[in-house]
Amino acid sequence: MSPTTKLSSAAKTYIGVVIVAGFLALAHSATAVVGSPPPRGWEVLVALTLLTGSLTLKIPTISARLSVSEVFVFAAVLWFGPGVATFLVVLDTLVGTLWLRGRNRTAIRTLFNVSAGALAIWLAANLYELVGPQAVNGKYVVENLLFPVGLLAISYFAINSVLIATAVGLSQGSSPLELWRRNFLWLSLNYLVGASVALMLVAYTPSSIDFSTISAVIPLLVITYLMFRMSLGRVDDAHRHVTQVNEMYLATIEALALAVDAKDQVTHGHIRRVQVYTTEMAGRLGVRDARQLKAIEAAALLHDMGKLAIPEHILNKPGKLTVAEFDNMKRHADIGADLLSSVRFPYPVVPIVRHHHENWDGTGYPTGLAGVDIPLGARILSVVDCFDALTSDRPYRPRLSTAEAFEILLERRGRMYDPIVVDAFISAHAAIAPLANEAGEQARSLIASSGQSPEQSNRPFDDIRATAAQSSSLTEYQSELQRSTTSEQAILVATEFARLLTPSTACAVYKYLPDVDVLRCVACSGNEGSLLNGFTIKRGERVTGWAAANNRTVTNSQAELDLQALSNSFNPPLRAVIAAPYFGAQDKLLGVLTGYAAKDNAFSDAHRYAFERIAMLLGERIASNSGSGSIVKFPRSERR
């Protein structure tokens, strides 16, 4: 039992029952010892128990310790009966408790450990007395002791380990049987070794303690202790290594999941919120298996992995998807599951990811599963995913209130979503929402935990979001260009998107006039854009002319170098310039797309890429049109 675990009512009841039963067994043993004092020599067993009880070993993965003092406990049963043996177990437990570190040594834990041990040995010892043989002429026949002593060891081990595993399982919300099988079963060897040594002691000294025999046993116990210490040390190292690898593995998954989240520009924090909602709901719906919980946690992080293969213009489209676009979007469930199939998860993640868009009535995708055939994790995830989408801003609509989202869930209850999951989610939402919202805001990741400042740690994901936004806008720009029927319309679209994707406060399109070898501004959008209408620059001169003459983009030169005194006529004054030439067929120079910003060094590499892409597409479109090249005028009131 972890000292910091908040015990459930079932765990508290169980622990209370065991404590009461253990103290009843201890009281019965004390009465028996006082009423019929054991013969002299049992004090030696007390001393040996104190000595060996301090030689405890921590069992990896659980809060329990192993001792080699069982040999003297078994010897006490055979020599003196259940009363003395129960006293020795209590003494051994108290000594072992002293080795626990501060916060692990709690009163409730000490009481439970003492009670469980006392109850287990009292029951096992009384069972032994029912089947155990009597000494004949002061001696035991070893063959007659084999079965009773074996039964004593197995029953003591089984009762003690099951009592502890059940307490740990109830306190952690995990399967006691699985805990017992994974952490306790192999410890039966220690009990069998202790029973074998005790059998040798009693077989040759049935009525009194032979110090020479005991002294011969001590080295064997020391060797046993050292062997267990070495074995447990290796197990602990292996467990620590697995834990570290699992933490790194999970951190990598989280970073990848947040990258997927970042690609979808409008769902910031969605992945984390969904993860918290889903895992909390799994616990409330009775999922206790550790593997299943791990699977649900990982699937909640990775359920949108397939969106990596969905084009940004579909993922972030500000309007309703067409049938073809929606069919494309639906592919993300299968794509994500197929991607994750190559990862050897130790728990069933892939089915949850593949089926989180199935509907309760069988009308979902990708395979049309219905009802309880849909994995429980997928049923939980679908409700949570829908709720978080409804209560988040999306390109095609603003966020809905919690009440409005609940109405939609209830409307789809029994048709799209599992009724039990919907009811449980609505009931638990108020308790879970603060945790989910906090997780969404914090958006912890592998990068964020590396000791960087929040500004530094969030930057990679901000860059992903910016790239996704840029790609989506450039796709939209290309579509707008395709719809333009004249060069003037194409130029208008180009300047609009150039200002949308960069910090340009003014954007000009210069047309190259080969007869006079100059570039003339035929369109300019933005603040005081009309100031540049008809403005000319000789090819090879200033910034725009240099970009045209050298067929290269110029970034973050001073605007004054391009416009001279005219740069200060703008409000605010222009400080930085970016200029990208655009070409027609056979790389024929058609002109230059130039942007002006109100601060120095305003343009980044991403802005440069956007400008070059806009200029390239503009050149292709103008080459395919037969525009007149006349000046395009923009309204003076137009602002960004």
- Which residues are registered as beta bridge partners of 555? 578
Q: Do 424 and 494 belong to one domain?
A: no
In order of 40, 300, 327, 592, the CA distances from 382 in angstroms are 71, 10, 18, 50
- Cβ neighbors of 492 (< 8 A, separation 6 or more) are 484, 523, 525, 632, 634
In order of 321, 467, 580, 585, the CA distances from 611 in angstroms are 28, 14, 7, 19
Tens digit of pLDDT for each residue in 398-407? Answer: 678 899 999 9
- Looking up residue 376, the CATH number of its domain turns out to be 1.10.3210.10
* Angstrom distance (rounded) from CA 105 to CA 500: 63
Q: Do 441 and 529 belong to one domain?
A: no
- Looking up residue 225, the CATH number of its domain turns out to be 1.10.1760.20
* Angstrom distance (rounded) from CA 102 to CA 627: 84
CB 337 within 8 A of CB 306: yes
Indicate the residue among 420, 446, 472 that finishes a domain.
446
Q: Are strands 65-67 and 506-513 parallel, antiparallel or unpaired?
A: unpaired
By C-alpha distance, which of 75, 29, 69 is closest to 49?
A: 69
* Angstrom distance (rounded) from CA 71 to CA 88: 11
Residue 476 lies in a domain: no
Q: Do 281 and 214 belong to one domain?
A: no
Task: Give the SS3 label for residue 180.
Answer: helix
* Angstrom distance (rounded) from CA 434 to CA 412: 25
Q: Do 537 and 440 belong to one domain?
A: no
Instruction: Tell me whether residue 158 is exposed, middle or buried, using C-beta atoms within 10 angstroms of its C-beta: 0 to 12, 13 to 18, 19 or more.
Output: middle
Residue 639 lies in a domain: no
For the ranges 229-238, 343-352, 417-426, 546-555, which has the lowest average pLDDT?
229-238
Residue 630 lies in a domain: no
Q: Which amino acid is at 419?
A: P
Q: Which amino acid is at 411?
A: E
Residue 397 lies in a domain: yes
* Angstrom distance (rounded) from CA 69 to CA 582: 87
* Angstrom distance (rounded) from CA 551 to CA 587: 10
Given a cut of 70, is residue 1 above it in pLDDT? no
Task: Give the SS3 label for residue 154.
Answer: helix
Residue 472 lies in a domain: no
Q: Which two tokens stand for residue 444?
A: 């912890």
Task: Give the SS3 label for residue 630.
Answer: coil
Residue 597 lies in a domain: yes
- In terms of C-beta distances under 8 Å and separation of at least 24 residues, what long-range contacts does 129-137 make, across chains too? 129/81, 129/82, 132/78, 135/206, 135/207
Tell me the residue range of the domain where 335 lies: 264-446
* Angstrom distance (rounded) from CA 512 to CA 544: 11
Instruction: Tell me whether residue 429 is exposed, middle or buried, using C-beta atoms within 10 angstroms of its C-beta: 0 to 12, 13 to 18, 19 or more.
Output: middle
Tens digit of pLDDT for each residue in 498-535? Answer: 888 888 999 999 999 999 999 999 999 887 778 898 99
- Average pLDDT taken over every residue of the chain: 78
By C-alpha distance, which of 517, 423, 480 is closest to 614?
A: 480
By C-alpha distance, which of 268, 274, 280 is closest to 384?
A: 274
Residue 194 lies in a domain: yes
pTM: 0.49
Given a cut of 90, is residue 376 above it in pLDDT? yes
Q: Do 309 and 230 belong to one domain?
A: no
Q: Helix 9-35 vs helix 142-172: angle between axes, to the nearest 10 degrees?
A: 150
pLDDT of residue 461: 45
Q: Do 235 and 279 belong to one domain?
A: no
Phi, psi of 61 (to 5 degrees): 80, -20
pLDDT of residue 92: 78
For the ranges 54-58, 297-301, 415-419, which has the lowest average pLDDT?
54-58
Q: Do 207 and 311 belong to one domain?
A: no
By C-alpha distance, which of 313, 280, 318, 312 is closest to 297?
A: 280
- If one compares 295 and 179, the residue with the highest pLDDT of the two is 295
| Total count of domains within the chain | 3
Residue 22 lies in a domain: yes
- Cα 388–chain centre separation: 18
Question: Using alpha carbons only, what angle is made at residue 158 by residues 157 and 163, rounded to the nearest 5 degrees?
Answer: 100
Give the DSSP per-residue string, 18-67: HHHHHHHHHHHHHHHHHHSPPPTTHHHHHHHHHHHHT-EEEPTTSS-EEE
Q: Do 219 and 353 belong to one domain?
A: no
Q: Do 176 and 214 belong to one domain?
A: yes
* Angstrom distance (rounded) from CA 435 to CA 425: 14
Report the pLDDT averaged over residues 478-483. 81
Indicate the residue among 176, 205, 240 that finishes a domain.
240
Tens digit of pLDDT for each residue in 40-64? Answer: 666 666 766 666 665 555 555 555 5
- Cα 449–chain centre separation: 13
The total of other beta-carbon atoms located within 10 Å of residue 288's CB is: 16
Q: Do 167 and 215 belong to one domain?
A: yes
Given a cut of 70, is residue 443 above it in pLDDT? no
Dihedral in degrees, nearest 10, Cα atoms 353, 355, 356, 359:
180
For the ranges 35-44, 207-216, 589-598, which has the lowest average pLDDT?
207-216
CB 578 within 8 A of CB 502: yes
Q: Do 426 and 303 belong to one domain?
A: yes
Q: Do 14 and 131 belong to one domain?
A: yes
Given a cut of 80, is residue 639 above it in pLDDT? no
pLDDT of residue 220: 58
Dihedral in degrees, nearest 10, Cα atoms 281, 282, 285, 287:
-160
Tens digit of pLDDT for each residue in 615-634? Answer: 998 998 888 875 444 333 33
